[in-house]
Amino acid sequence: MRQLVIAAVMLAACASPSTGSDPRSSDNSNGTTTTSGDPAASSATTPAAQPDLPPVTPPRPEFSRVLYVSPAGSDTAAGSEAAPFRTIHRALELVAPGEAVFVAAGTYPETLALDARAGLDGKPITLRGQGKPKLVPSGEGGGMVQFSRPGWVVEGFEIDAQGLGKIAVTFTSDVHGSVLRGNDIHGGTLGAGVTTYDGATGATIENNQIHDFWRDGEDAHGVLVQWTSRDITIRGNDIHHNSGDSVQCIGPETYADAAPASGVLIEKNDLHDGVENAVDIKTCSGVMVRGNRMHGFRMAPSGQGAKGDAVVIHMSASDVTVEDNEIYDSGRGLSLGGNRIGPMPAGVVIRHNRIHDIVIDGGTDGVGMCVENSEGARIEQNTFTRIASYALRVGGGTNGPTDNLRVRNNILDAASPVRVGSYAPGLVVNSNLYQPGALFTVQGVVESYQTWLTSGQDSRSVTGSPGFASADSLAPGPVAVDRGEDLGLTFCGAAPDLGAVETGCST
């Protein structure tokens, strides 16, 4: 932790009182002293008053005590920097709230069960690697690092499962304030690299590398949030080259008495080059997927079901928002609905996403977004461009209808912007931008934009080139500026711009 050091500089007095008498002064009859008029002979100067400066507060130490561990140490030593312990386990027996364990570079075959005590608010227990020490498997089963109490911080390690059937990190029970930060986590052959389960509540997983968890023909996810987990934050991680999803929130489909995971935040991660999906949301509720980059997904190998989708929301997911993400270089941008056991997905909002360079490759279909069974979903102010197939495909009827879908204020920059099947009751499509000459498909019939308008849809839509300022920013040109409906979101100008990028804002 970087400490702020405050330096106080005391100001010296700028003058000092004069001593002795001036030989040019004269004594008047009334006893007062006058000067000869020479400015140099003025009366003595009174010292300037010192301002009342606040007391200097010394910087607060980051930790109240630090214990040290090194491969050259001994568990009978004092645990000081000069006499470190040999094992992390020994330090964990002694460390207390507000204290830290500094672990020197080296290899440590230890299982770390963080359960002996808890950190306190403002006084976590910190386990910090210096020079990227490596944790390797020890013993059978369980996680290599096991969080089960509040207030633990683990940062700066390489956690190497070494190709064994190990999960690198587990979170269970009340782990409020516990943080897994800045680690390189890799190499396992079980179902996930990092997982939360058994009522895990309040964990933060941030700024880690999580990669190369692999099982041939089977899932091994980067991060797996399981049912009964609550208030889990997954932020700023680089998650890649896993044989499952980068992040999956799995539901209790076969466990009727289990509560779905809820309050999950997935933001500002780089999720890429996995076998299945960047984000897979099953029966979870209250999920926010925000500000991520997702790319490099293709059709899964034989025996696995992914179609190159970057984002999948299905089963009985509810109250899921996907916003401000960049999704590209994949076989399909997003899929909503499809697989289902219980109720359809409901309360799903897809907005302000940039979806581009969606490809047909190795069996992928090149669709920007596919919507099947769902209730009341909203697709608003997204930009779809450089899409190999349909920008939007809805109402195919897989496991139920697409009920009351709203599609508004989007740029659907594709030769085939919309395909509508027979199962889309209550569909509203309006205030979008299409390519000139775009063709629409309605229940298998290809039709022009003018014919499409006769359905009563799109009374406020426009056609034209989006005129992007650049291929990267996707800021739209004049045809899309101030042309949208007011959907209650922040905008700059007379009305919202169409697409994901709002122009004309001062900041």
pLDDT score, position 72: 98
pLDDT tens per residue, range 167-201: 999 999 999 999 999 999 999 999 999 999 999 99
pLDDT score, position 459: 82
Name residues whose C-beta falls within 8 Å of residue 81's C-beta, 6 or more positions apart in sequence. 66, 68, 102
pLDDT score, position 24: 35
Q: What is the Cα–Cα distance from 120 to 365, expressed in whole angstroms?
A: 51
Write out the E strands in 383-422: 383-387, 392-394, 402-403, 406-408, 411-413, 418-420
Q: What is the pTM of this model?
A: 0.88
Q: Is-contact 407 432, C-beta < 8 A?
A: yes
pLDDT tens per residue, range 266-299: 999 999 999 999 999 999 999 999 999 999 999 8
Q: Is-contact 172 202, C-beta < 8 A?
A: no
- Taking alpha carbons only, the member of 196, 152, 145 closest to residue 166 is 145
Q: What is the Cα–Cα distance from 389 to 403, expressed in whole angstroms?
A: 23
- Taking alpha carbons only, the member of 302, 354, 353, 306 closest to residue 332 is 306
- Return phi, psi of residue 68, to 5°: -120, 145
Question: In this structure, what is the dihedral angle of CA atoms 424, 489, 263, 149, given to the nearest 10 degrees?
Answer: 160
Q: What is the Cα–Cα distance from 162 to 165, expressed in whole angstroms?
A: 9
Name residues whose C-beta falls within 8 Å of residue 359's C-beta, 6 or more positions apart in sequence. 329, 330, 331, 366, 388
Q: What is the Cα–Cα distance from 173 to 202, expressed in whole angstroms?
A: 9
Strand, helix or coil at 33?
strand
User: Which residues in the chain land under pLDDT 70?
Assistant: 1-51, 140-141, 302-305, 507
Q: Is-contact 112 127, C-beta < 8 A?
A: yes
Cα distances (angstroms) measured from residue 138 to each of 126, 187, 433, 464:
22, 15, 58, 62
pLDDT score, position 457: 78
Cα distances (angstroms) measured from residue 333 to each of 39, 241, 296, 367, 503:
85, 18, 11, 7, 24
The domains found in the chain, sorted by start residue, are 105-462 (2.160.20.10)
SS (H, E, C) 433-479: EECCCCCEEECCEEECHHHHHCCCCCCCCEECCCCCCCCCCCCCCHH
What are the tokens at 415? 């030769």
pLDDT score, position 368: 98
Q: Is-contact 147 167, C-beta < 8 A?
A: no
What are the tokens at 476? 């739209």
